[in-house]
Structure 1
């Protein structure tokens, strides 16, 4: 089980990476075999599922270009067994929730994104 303290530390680092638009720092949180599913991926790429660190990196870079004012504010973290649900608000005030499952090294290996609109 991920502890509240480790989840909070992770979320702070994750949020800072995104708010800095630092792609290398962002990618440091994701496993090489990451599988990501997101409605935003479907919007930007034409398909919702992105597999592998290189493809995810390209998707994130496309997202950072599409949303130059991108900013996240974490509002809550739900802890589970080797997983968390990260609840945050983006730059447009949209409520977001990401289910993140971690590998043995503490890297995100599965991520499913959800949005209020």
Structure 2
């Protein structure tokens, strides 16, 4: 299996996030996915920002949406590699963010949420 078509994937990813449909987002990920994010380190401090498996990712994204009910993304660019995809988007705070996704077949095996290094509150998380 090969990675999905980049722009189609980004459209599906965006639609799921903007609908706040965590299960639709999770369909793009392997059960044993590893995902890192500085926001996850704040939302779920016990993870240290490293989430392992769909259940932990679900818990993070569900809590993140609870904390950021106005979350909304706009895709700015999509970059494709051999087995990688980078989605550059703006969040509800107009902050430019990159989601780096590494594929194993048609689903994400590893992901990284990356934020500007000078933003003390990436993604607008509260608390």
Output the TM-score relative to the length of structure 1.
Answer: 0.93
For residue 89 of structure 1, what is the aligned residue in structure 2? Answer: 90
Please state how far the C-alpha of 1:82 moved relative to its aligned partner: 1.1
CA 1:27/1:2 → structure 2, altered by over 3 Å: closer, same or farther?
Answer: closer
Instruction: Please show how residues 28-39 of structure 1 align to structure 2 within 5 Å.
Output: 28-39=27-38
Give 5+ residue unaligned stretches, structure 1.
none
For residue 113 of structure 1, what is the aligned residue in structure 2? Answer: 113
Moved over 4 A (4+): none
Please state how far the C-alpha of 1:23 moved relative to its aligned partner: 1.6
Aligned-partner Cα distance in 2 for 1:2–1:110: 13
Aligned-partner Cα distance in 2 for 1:88–1:23: 18
Please state how far the C-alpha of 1:42 moved relative to its aligned partner: 0.6
SS in 1 for 2:94: coil
For residue 57 of structure 1, what is the aligned residue in structure 2? Answer: 58
Report Cα offsets for 1:69-110 as digits up to 9, x if no partner.
000111001110111111000000111001100112x11110
Please state how far the C-alpha of 1:31 moved relative to its aligned partner: 0.9
Aligned-partner Cα distance in 2 for 1:66–1:30: 23
| Alignment RMSD (CA, Å) | 1.3
Output the TM-score relative to the length of structure 2.
Answer: 0.86
Give 5+ residue unaligned stretches, structure 2.
120-127
